[in-house]
Amino acid sequence: MSETDSQRTAEILLEIVPKVNSLLRSLVFGRTQQSLSIPLYRVLTVLTDAGPLPMSILARHEGVKGPTMSRFIDSLAQKKLVQRGASPADRRIILVRLTAKGVETVASVRREVVRELSSLLEPWPAGDLSLVEAALVLLRQHQLYPGRFS
């Protein structure tokens, strides 16, 4: 792939990703049973994917400062979606983990959003859906997103 190809792809990503994020934001926040902002939902999904994490790693992963992540966790804890606890390896480290309600909330939101997205994609030709799926699989394989938890 030439620099021109990668630059064109980068420009398309920069154009499309914010639009997709806006759609997801409206689906997660506006059309689900849970009143979750995208940042709060993202914290839940990170914990779903990675398991219990220190707040410092969550903050770094989400690109926010510690006090901001602390407010996110406070909000999620008030909703009984997460709980804080000392790390068994180092009691000075506070781990954040999903509660059973948090696990069910993520599963429920994902089901609703998948249902909504499926209905939006239903009219697309099968060939177009296959191309988009292949591109998304490539994005996942190449990890063109912050996906490391250390």
Q: Which CATH number belongs to the domain containing residue 89 in this structure?
A: 1.10.10.10
Compute the average pLDDT of residues 63-73: 95
Asked, for residue 42, whether it belongs to a domain, the answer is: yes
Query: What pLDDT shows up at residue 150?
Result: 47
Structural domain boundaries, residue 22: 3-142
Q: Is the pLDDT of residue 33 over 60?
A: no
Beta strands in the chain (DSSP E): 53-54, 82-86, 94-98
Asked, for residue 130, whether it belongs to a domain, the answer is: yes
**Is 25 exposed, middle or buried (CB count within 10 Å of its CB: 0-12, 13-18, 19+)?**
middle
Query: What pLDDT shows up at residue 34?
Result: 61
Asked, for residue 148, whether it belongs to a domain, the answer is: no
Asked, for residue 76, whether it belongs to a domain, the answer is: yes
Q: pTM of the prediction?
A: 0.78
Asked, for residue 95, whether it belongs to a domain, the answer is: yes
Strand partners, 86: 94
Asked, for residue 149, whether it belongs to a domain, the answer is: no
Q: Is the pLDDT of residue 81 over 70?
A: yes
Domains of the chain: total = 1
Tokens at residue 74, please? 């406070």
Asked, for residue 150, whether it belongs to a domain, the answer is: no
Tokens at residue 82, please? 């997460």
Compute the average pLDDT of residues 66-85: 96
